[in-house]
A and B are shown apart, each in its own frame.
Chain A
C-alpha cells in the first residue's frame, strides 16, 4: 500500500471516529449511567471475559511467575514506545510540563536506558506523565459520551474510543522511533498488558470473577477511575455525606 493511500485511509478513520461523537447521548437525569448500549455492551463484556479466561489471565499468571529481571525490561520497553504519542498529546493539550518530562524521558531511556529496556529517567525523578488522545479531547471540552465496552480493549467511553483510534492511527513513534522500537513496539505493548494483568491479578479477578455483576462493577470502576485520572469532577450524587438525611439509619444501629 502506498503512503498516500495509507494517509487517506487514516484520515477516513479519524473522520469516521469524529462522526461517532455527535451520537453521544446526554446523560438522563435520575439515571446512574449514560449507557444506552448496555445490551450490546454486556454481550461484548461476556466476549472479553472469554478472552481473559483463555489468554490474558493465563498469560498474566505466567508473567507473575517470571523474575522481575525479565518482565521489568519488557514493561519498560512497552512504556517507552508509548511516550512519543504522549508527547504529541501533551502539545495538543498545551501541557508544557508533561510534554517536557515525557520528551526527556523518551530521550534518556532510549539512549542511556539501552533502547528503552531500562528506566534511568524514572530513577532521577522523571516519571511518566500518562496521557492519551482521550484526555486531549477532554481538555478540548468534548463530552465523555456514552459508556461503551470495546472488544479486546474493554471498558471505555465514546470519547475514549475515538482517542484509542486516533492514538493508534497517528502514532508519532513511526517517525521518531528506532527500528527495534517500530518493529517490536506493538508486541511489547501486548506483553505489557499481560504483565499488568499479572501484577493486578487479584484486583482484576475480584471485578471479573468474584462480583455478582462484573459488567456493572467494571463500568463503575472504569468511569470513576477515568474521571479521576482526567481531573474531572465526579457527577452530582456521588458525594456521600453521612450527615445528610437521605438515608434512614433506623434499625442499622
Chain B
C-alpha cells in the first residue's frame, strides 16, 4: 500500500521535475522529486534505526547522525536562537549549533517508540516561496492519522529539511520559544545553555 503510494508519487514527482526543466525558469534547482526522495530516505533511515533494536542511547546517537545528514543544521540552530544569537561570538554560535542538534536528537529520539510500526504516506508536494513543502500523512498505531509537512530547501547546495509542521504546529517556532525560555531561566547566559544542552 505504502510502496504503491510512494512509487506513484515518485513517478509524478519525476514528471513534475521534467516539466520544470522544460520551462525557462532556471535558478530554482530543487525539484519535487528530490524533496520527496529526501523524505522517503529519511523515513527509511529512521525506521532502520528503530528496528535495529539497539539501546536508547545508541539510537539517539544514530538519530543525531540522521539529523546532521538530512537537515539544514546551521539554519535550524540560527533560527532557534533567533535574536538572542546576535551578540554571540562565532565560537558560541558553532558550539550552540552542535549542542542544539544533540538536544533535538535526544528530545525526539526518546519518543521513537511512538513511531514504531508506523507509516509516513506521501500525499504530494508544492513550491512555497523558495522551498518545497512535502505533505505526508503519519499513520501510527492507536492514533488517528495526522498531517506532517516537511519543508525542504537546497540552501546548503543539497536538499535538506529545515522545518517540520505537525498538524499546523511549526517546529522552528516551538523551538525558538523553548530556547528563549531556557535562556531566560539561565539569566541569558548562552554558555550555560550550551553546556546544559550538550
Q: Which A residues contact B (CB, under 8 angstroms)?
A: 68, 199-200, 202, 206, 210-213, 216-217, 220-221, 224-229, 234, 238-243, 247-253
Contacts and interface: CB of A to CB of B under 8 A. Distances in A.
A243 B181 contact: no
A243 B169 contact: no
A12 B48 CA distance: 59
B90 to A, nearest CB: 4
Contacts of A253: 74
Q: Which 5 A-B pairs have the closest CB atoms?
A: A228-B168, A251-B93, A213-B181, A251-B90, A212-B181
B174 A220 contact: yes
B150 interface: no
The majority secondary structure among interface residues of chain A is loop
Interface string B157-173: 00000110001111011
B94 A252 contact: yes
A206 B169 CA distance: 14
Which of A227, A234, A240, A241 has most B Cβ within 10 Å? A240
A154 to B, nearest CB: 16
A240 B130 CA distance: 10
B181 A242 contact: no
B72 interface: yes
Interface of B: 72, 74-75, 77-79, 82, 85-86, 88-94, 96-97, 107, 111, 114, 128-131, 142-143, 151, 153, 155, 162-163, 167-170, 172-174, 177-178, 181-182, 184-185
Given A248-B78, A251-B93, A240 B163 contact: yes
Contacts of B97: 252
A240 B172 contact: yes
A243 B153 contact: yes
B93 A252 contact: yes
Given A225-B168, A251-B89, A251-B90, A240 B185 contact: no
Contact of A242 (B75, B86, B94): B75
B149 to A, nearest CB: 10
12 contacts: A206-B111, A211-B181, A216-B177, A217-B178, A225-B167, A225-B168, A240-B163, A241-B129, A241-B131, A242-B162, A250-B93, A251-B90
Contacts of B155: 242-243
B72 A242 contact: yes
Contacts of A240: 79, 151, 162-163, 170, 172-173
B168 to A, nearest CB: 2
Given A68-B142, A212-B178, A247-B78, 10 more contacts: A199-B143, A217-B178, A220-B173, A221-B174, A241-B130, A247-B79, A251-B89, A251-B90, A251-B93, A252-B74
B90 A243 contact: no
A211 B168 CA distance: 19
Which of B77, B92, B155, B181 has most A Cβ within 10 Å? B181
B169 A221 contact: yes
A199 B144 CA distance: 11
B178 to A, nearest CB: 6
A30 to B, nearest CB: 13
A227 B168 CA distance: 7
A67 to B, nearest CB: 12
A251 B92 CA distance: 8
